[in-house]
Amino acid sequence: MANTPQAEKRIRRNERRAAVNKARLSRIRTQVKKVESAIAAGDKAAAAAALQVAQPELLRGVAKGVIHKNTASRKISRLNKRVVALG
């Protein structure tokens, strides 16, 4: 339980930031799933287009501190490799 006004404000702030970060992470996961489903369907054009949308979303997550830089780089690299392999 917060004992000071500052601690109460910090709790409110943390709840707001957690909601924003959760939404951002959900958006990233959705875009990655769209790429993966296009790859599973074997549609190279759709997969490449979905990757073009997912990549900036991942990098934005890095900039906002939601995911680690290496995690985003790894995901982008692996997705890109799978898209190229479709051709």
Rg (CA), the chain: 17
The enclosing H or E element of 72 equals: helix 69-86
Containing structural domain, residue 43 = 5-86
| pTM of this structure | 0.88
Say how many domains are in the chain: 1
- Is-contact 28 61, C-beta < 8 A? yes
Could you please report the per-residue DSSP string of 9-70?
HHHHHHHHHHHHHHHHHHHHHHHHHHHHHHHHHT-HHHHHHHHHHHHHHHHHHHHTTSS-HH
* CA separation for the pair 54, 82 (Å, rounded): 14
Q: What is the pLDDT along the chain (87 residues), one digit of tens a residue?
A: 889 999 999 999 999 999 999 999 999 999 999 999 999 999 999 999 999 999 999 999 999 999 999 999 999 999 999 999 998
CATH number assigned to the domain comprising residue 53: 1.20.58.110
